Amino acid sequence: MADTSLLKLEEDESIAAASRRLGMSRREFLQFCAAMSATLGLPQGAEAAMAGAVAAKKRPSVIWLHFQECTGCTESILRAEHPTLEKLILDVISLDYHETLFAAAGHQVEAARHAAMKANKGQYLLVVEGAIPTRDGGIYCKIGGKTAIELLNECAADAAAVIAIGSCASWGGMPSTDPNPTGATGVSKVLGKPVVTIPGCPPNPYNFLSTVVHFLTFGSLPPVDELGRPKFAYSRLVHENCERRAHFDAGRFAMDFGDEGHRKGYCLYKLGCKGPETYANCPTVLFGDAGGGTWPVGCGHPCIGCTEEGVGFQKPIHMVAKLKNIEPPLQYPRIVEEKGTGATLGSAAVLAAVAGAAAGAGAMVAKNLGLSHQAEEAEREKERARSSEKAGV
């Protein structure tokens, strides 16, 4: 039975006001809420609750901290289109502290942070972008005279929830690569408690937006996996939804960048694609609202596994991925095959014959296993007899 809860809201004045505020038509606003609900995997009727929450509830206060990072996560948010950044920070959330986007600086910015934390004690969201340096007391990152460790602990103390955005904040990311001279690490390790992590370099902005809207609607963050990642975004391998997956299953691989297979869109597994061991929704959500193929593999570059600790920024880009839940059939060319050569029809026939012979030999071995010792003893007796005859001559 079709859900009519959204249709009933089309005439609601609060929905009309919210759509005007967001610069959307009422139908576009309701479609946005329906899409967000579907992305989160929520049950029927949740889209109406989401629309009502965005329209009527007080915007959640957000304190956004920057530490060891490149600001790529913020740049990703800047490119969100549904809604755009100005609609997001002015109409969906209340971004009360963000060093990159603030027009003010210095003492004014710090005063704004303290005021927002005091006015929204126990109710604000703390978003952390960037890894936290812990070596030598955390002296390698200071803001307003305080180390990143001090700022994080101060702001997290009265936060309703903590969200680590990007791989750096989630588990250390690029700053934590060997030899890690600053002792960079993730938010949860510094706080000593689990936090919601939205890894990626950068993460998809809609993974963050969906998490915040879930909090706004239900007063809680969405279900997460054992690493703190929202399940709606990080429960499936990149490999499972990749548009090149059919080529993997058929054994068609690009062997060099720019070769015929690469130009034809063949699987990038042998070029080091980490999609088979990386959990993320990149191939389904894409990036930049610029149409199909707008993600690394779609553009011809292997996935580097940036959402996975121990894969992104740890494994060399050219290293072949560890297949987590699927193995290629045995008839596929081996990874160590010479480039440009694979199994021909003739070699496949030989292989089949050898396999058949091996199977037959195996059956005979199994059949005669109990007779093998007797046969060996009989052969030894014959050899001893021949030796005795020669000695007698």
Per residue in 186-209, pLDDT tens?
999 999 988 999 999 999 888 988
Q: What percent of the chain has pLDDT over 70?
A: 72
* Mean pLDDT computed over 264-281: 95
Residue (of 224, 211, 173, 202) closest to 77 by Cα position: 202
Backbone angles phi, psi at 105, to 5 degrees: -155, 170
**What residue ranges do the domains of the chain occupy?**
1-57, 60-233, 236-341
Element of type H or E holding 63? strand 61-66
Closest listed residue to residue 77, CA positions, set 198, 216, 228, 230: 198
Q: What is the pTM of this model?
A: 0.71
Q: Is the pLDDT of residue 345 over 70?
A: no
Structure confidence by residue, pLDDT tens digits, 351-360: 455 445 444 5
pLDDT the model gives residue 212: 83
State how far the Cα of 5 lies from the Cα of 26, in Å rounded to an integer. Answer: 14
pLDDT at 105: 79
**pLDDT category, 94, cuts 50, 70, 90?**
confident
Q: Which homologous superfamily is 60-233 in? A: NADH:ubiquinone oxidoreductase-like, 20kDa subunit (3.40.50.700)
41-52: pLDDT as tens digits: 666 666 777 677
What's the whole-number mean pLDDT along residues 324-342? 58
Give residue 361's pLDDT band: very low, low, confident or very high (50, 70, 90): very low
Which of 68, 179, 204 lies closest to 128, judged by CA?
68
Q: What's the order of all strands across the beta sheet hosting 61-66?
A: 94-98, 61-66, 125-129, 161-165, 196-198
pLDDT of residue 376: 58
The dotted CATH code for 236-341 is 4.10.480.10
Least confident of 72-81, 167-176, 292-301: 72-81
| pLDDT at residue 44, rounded to an integer | 67
Residue 305 confidence (pLDDT) above 70: yes
In the structure encoding, which two tokens stand for residue 184, read together? 């960079």
pLDDT, mean of residues 127-139: 96
pLDDT at 365 over 60: no
CB 189, CB 309: distance < 8 Å: no
In this chain, the answer to whether the domains covering 60-233 and 236-341 adopt an identical fold is no
Position with higher pLDDT, 122 vs 290: 122
